[in-house]
């Protein structure tokens, strides 16, 4: 029969303490990793949701251009539904100003009281080109007061202030006939890019805008 001395008891107590501290430390590290993973996951979900809204807005904005043309040209809207400029002097001939197939920056005119979407062509193929960068703008609207909008502005009046975001948006347009003058609808691809944790991410939505 062995009799444990005080020396042996102290050694066992020390070992138990070390084991207990190690277990607690590992638990704390695991909890920390789980919390950080959860926070990163929430941030990624928020970014993806925001990117989805920006992409959807891109398709809606092209539809808005079509709707504006219908209002402007009345009976001639069948020929001018997809024009990029307006109002035109000669509404019977829109061929020279139709939106062609290609890649565009979607801009919002902030210089007038009536905000209007504009497509600017041939900006470059890379979604992360500076031309596609989205800005957060504090807009002073006489009708609606001050509010935030996320856009690529065409101008910056003194009443508005804009700051860069980490999001980019590119619009790509193709036609069912590949010719804007004979097409019945356009296919609009709205791609949004952003950077999270040093990694570039993209999201794309596709919709159709028709000349009903």
Q: How confident is the model at residue 9 (pLDDT cuts 50, 70, 90)?
A: very low
In a domain, 195, yes or no: yes
In a domain, 4, yes or no: no
Contact 84, 98 (CB under 8 A): yes
Outline where DSSP puts E strands in the chain.
Answer: 102-109, 116-121, 133-141, 145-151, 161-175, 185-196, 199-210
Q: pLDDT by residue (tens digit) across 175-196? A: 999 999 889 999 999 999 999 8
In a domain, 157, yes or no: yes
Q: pLDDT by residue (tens digit) across 104-152? A: 999 988 776 667 888 998 888 899 999 999 999 887 765 655 667 888 8
Q: pLDDT by residue (tens digit) across 82-114? A: 988 765 555 566 777 899 999 999 998 877 666
At residue 39, the pLDDT reads: 47
Domain that holds residue 57: 43-210
Contact 67, 81 (CB under 8 A): no
At residue 130, the pLDDT reads: 92
Q: Is the pLDDT of residue 38 over 60?
A: no
At residue 128, the pLDDT reads: 95
Q: Is the pLDDT of residue 8 over 60?
A: no
Higher pLDDT, 38 or 148: 148
Structural domains in the chain (count): 1
At residue 154, the pLDDT reads: 82
In a domain, 139, yes or no: yes
At residue 197, the pLDDT reads: 80
At residue 159, the pLDDT reads: 58
| Angstrom distance (rounded) from CA 69 to CA 80 | 7
Residues in the chain, overall count: 212
pTM summary value = 0.74
In a domain, 11, yes or no: no
Higher pLDDT, 128 or 7: 128
At residue 137, the pLDDT reads: 86
At residue 84, the pLDDT reads: 81
In a domain, 55, yes or no: yes
In a domain, 164, yes or no: yes
In a domain, 25, yes or no: no
Over residues 59-79, mean pLDDT: 83
| Angstrom distance (rounded) from CA 199 to CA 166 | 12
């Amino acid at each position: 029969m062995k009799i444990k001395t005080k020396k042996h008891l102290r050694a066992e107590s020390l070992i138990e303490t070390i084991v207990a501290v190690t277990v607690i430390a590992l638990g704390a590290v695991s909890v920390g990793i789980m919390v950080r993973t959860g926070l990163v996951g929430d941030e990624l979900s928020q970014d993806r949701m925001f990117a989805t809204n920006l992409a959807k807005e891109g398709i809606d904005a092209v539809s808005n251009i079509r709707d504006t043309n219908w209002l402007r040209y009345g009976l001639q809207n069948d020929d001018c539904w997809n024009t990029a400029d307006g109002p035109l002097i000669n509404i019977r001939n829109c061929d020279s100003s139709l939106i062609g197939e290609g890649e565009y920056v979607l801009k919002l005119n902030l210089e007038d009281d009536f905000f209007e979407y504009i497509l600017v062509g041939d900006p470059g193929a890379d979604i992360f080109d500076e031309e596609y960068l989205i800005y957060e703008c504090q807009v002073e609207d006489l009708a609606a007061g001050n509010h935030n909008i996320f856009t690529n502005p065409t101008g910056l009046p003194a009443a508005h202030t804009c700051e860069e975001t980490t999001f980019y948006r590119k619009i790509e347009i193709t036609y069912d006939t590949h010719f804007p003058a004979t097409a019945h609808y356009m296919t609009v691809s709205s791609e949004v890019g952003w950077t999270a944790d040093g990694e570039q991410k993209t999201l794309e939505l596709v919709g159709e805008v028709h000349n009903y």
